Amino acid sequence: MNKPDKINNEQLILEAAEEEFLTKGYDGARTTSIARKAGVSHAMLHYYYRTKKQLFDCIIEKTIETIRQTMLVAMGDPNMPLVERLKEGIGSHFDLQAANPLLPRFFLNEIISRPELYSLLYERVASFIRDFFADLQSDADAAAERGEIEKIDVQVLITSIMSLNIFPFIAYQFIEPVMGNMTADRKKFLAERKAENIELIMRRIIKQ
């Protein structure tokens, strides 16, 4: 097996595994299904990943990195004026959720059934994000002193942004039958939610 084939096969397996795990969770995922979706034999899959757990761990590493990036995105570009920074951050965070719509429910379900994943997420994200929170809080305090925004706790603010932006993707299957026509056009529904979330947060922080 030459190197390009090895890289290609492994990438196909990882892509199929991500879809399988994010759709069905660890317990529901099957390596036979992953091999079939990847277009490789079951034996070939086990050549690269000897166990289902080993393959799952690779997907978890990737999802944790995506979560880290979504949190950074939510805090916006530090080179922009604060209000514009937050406005851009909210929209970009929503767009990243839309690009990974299965991720929030997957991680929520897996953390509930596998508490050790919470410890791993905390270890990888908490210390990494702490300095960013401190810098954003300093910028927010300075903007409040200048009368540009209301005084805010940025940890509460980021929690609000994440809650508003993640909820439509976690709860869409429940929202759809209840709201009917409102969700008939998924693309339009998500665009409206994004605009509404930006407006809600801006109303909260901009000094009237």
Residue-wise pLDDT for 23-56, tens only, equals: 999 999 999 999 999 999 999 999 999 999 999 9
2 pLDDT band (50/70/90 cuts)?
A: low
Contact 56, 114 (CB under 8 A): no
Output DSSP code: residue 207.
-
What is the rounded (10 degree) CA torsion for 179, 183, 189, 190? 100
Residue-wise pLDDT for 52-82, tens only, equals: 999 999 999 888 888 888 888 888 888 889 9
Q: Maximum distance among all alpha carbons in the chain?
A: 66
Query: Which has the closest alpha carbon to 176: 193, 159, 200, 197?
Result: 193
Q: Which domains does the chain have, with CATH numbers?
A: 1-50 (1.10.10.60), 57-205 (1.10.357.10)
Residue in the block written with tokens 């976690």: 170
Query: Which has the closest alpha carbon to 107: 7, 19, 25?
Result: 25
Supply the DSSP string of 36-65, one letter for each residue.
Answer: HHHTS-HHHHHHH-SSHHHHHHHHHHHHHH
Q: What is the mean pLDDT of residues 185-196?
A: 91
